[in-house]
């Protein structure tokens, strides 16, 4: 049996339901994984709240690490007892035991603990594609990273620094600003008090930044747009404050022939090769100490609703994991 979280309707954290469900033998192409740590991600709250659509009833969660306990006969490349992790695919990671498509699984190297994998797979592969594929970050470029003390932020900041960028972060409180600085930010803007675009102009001699990594959405859209240099790139990769309002393409011309993209991890890890390239790049920076798992909150799986509440009310920093 596996304690598993399901939703039968969308809404607040109270819609999370817990049930002990039988685990079937793995189907063709699948492996059974006993989870040891489950990653908490803001995207989980979008599916719970109905911001992103999924057929109901549905499981929740996309990221976990654990141990292989059964393997479909047609699967090769995995053995019983392997430590594995995943970060994309059908919802349902909020569970003790689960069948997962082997094509979406990676084996963990000894340098990455289960908890680190649950904290880093989704956020870290996101930081990878944002800095290597959406835009190839070059030494000397200046980037603006919103929510720099958050889950993705605390991976994206040190990785961007390692690539030679100057990193300006934003944070919601002085404590979070201190964390963002320790993660590697050169400067931090308190975006609940300060005018982001004006601060960025002041810090960049009026030029603006090469790239804005904006995961906040509605509340930061305008400031992000006005913080970019001519021909800069707006990477809108999340909507923690709500979806940004629609805009006319001509706005990008008016603001300086800007580029705009709205990427998601699934499209950057769709093939096995893309997935393993991203995972290996992440494992490499972890092994070299460039990126470390910042697990600042741990919750029992049974407390997933409280974890959602904390994440959405901006109480968390770094990453959070659910322990089955």
Ligand X SMILES: NC(=O)c1ccc[n+]([C@@H]2O[C@H](COP(=O)([O-])OP(=O)(O)OC[C@H]3O[C@@H](n4cnc5c(N)ncnc54)[C@H](OP(=O)(O)O)[C@@H]3O)[C@@H](O)[C@H]2O)c1
Query: Under the rule (CB under 6 A), what is the footprint of ligand X?
Result: 41-43, 122-123, 126, 147, 149-153, 171-172, 176, 215-216, 219, 237-241, 263-265, 311-312, 314, 316
Q: How far is the CB of 245 from ligand X (least distance, A)?
A: 15
- E-assigned strand segments in the chain: 2-7, 17-21, 30-40, 58-59, 64-71, 83-86, 97-101, 106-107, 142-145, 166-171, 187-190, 209-214, 228-236, 259-261, 295-300, 319-323
For ligand X, which is the closer residue by CB, 69 or 173?
Answer: 173
Handedness of CA 89, 285, 172, 221 (dihedral sign): negative
For ligand X, which is the closer residue by CB, 82 or 312?
Answer: 312
Residue 69: other Cβ atoms inside 10 A: 15
N residues, the chain = 324
Q: How far is the CB of 289 from ligand X (least distance, A)?
A: 21
For ligand X, which is the closer residue by CB, 32 or 239?
Answer: 239
For ligand X, which is the closer residue by CB, 97 or 304?
Answer: 304
Q: How far is the CB of 140 from ligand X (least distance, A)?
A: 26
Q: How far is the CB of 149 from ligand X (least distance, A)?
A: 5
b (16+ CB within 10 A) / e for 97-108: bbbbbbebbbbb
For ligand X, which is the closer residue by CB, 97 or 285?
Answer: 285
């Amino acid at each position: 049996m596996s304690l598993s979280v399901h939703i039968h309707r969308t809404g607040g954290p109270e819609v999370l339901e817990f049930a002990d469900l039988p685990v079937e033998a793995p189907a063709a192409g699948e492996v059974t994984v006993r989870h040891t740590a489950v990653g908490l991600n803001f995207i989980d709250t979008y599916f719970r709240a109905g911001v992103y659509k999924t057929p109901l009833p549905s499981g929740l969660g996309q990221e976990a690490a654990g141990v292989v306990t059964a393997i479909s006969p047609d699967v090769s490349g995995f053995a019983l007892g392997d430590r594995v992790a995943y970060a994309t695919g059908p919802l349902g990671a909020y569970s003790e035991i689960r069948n997962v498509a082997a094509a979406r699984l990676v084996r963990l190297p000894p340098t990455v603990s289960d908890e680190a994998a649950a904290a880093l797979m989704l956020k870290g592969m996101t930081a990878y594609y944002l800095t290597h594929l959406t835009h190839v970050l070059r030494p000397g470029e200046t980037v603006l990273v919103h929510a720099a003390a958050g889950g993705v932020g605390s991976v994206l900041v040190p990785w961007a620094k390692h690539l030679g960028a100057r990193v300006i972060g934003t944070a919601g409180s002085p404590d979070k600003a201190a964390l963002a600085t320790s993660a590697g930010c050169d400067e931090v803007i308190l975006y609940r008090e300060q005018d982001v675009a004006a601060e960025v102009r002041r810090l960049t001699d009026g030029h603006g930044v090469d790239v804005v990594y904006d995961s906040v959405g509605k509340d930061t859209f305008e400031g992000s747009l006005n913080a970019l240099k001519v021909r800069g790139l707006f990477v809108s990769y999340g909507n923690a404050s709500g979806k940004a309002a629609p805009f006319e393409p001509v706005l990008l011309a008016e603001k300086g022939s800007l580029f705009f993209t709205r990427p998601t991890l699934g499209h950057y890890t769709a093939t096995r090769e893309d997935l393993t390239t991203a995972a290996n790049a992440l494992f490499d920076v972890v092994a070299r100490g460039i990126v470390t798992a910042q697990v600042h909150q741990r919750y029992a799986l049974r407390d997933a609703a409280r974890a959602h509440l904390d994440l959405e009310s901006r109480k968390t920093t770094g990453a959070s994991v659910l322990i089955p």
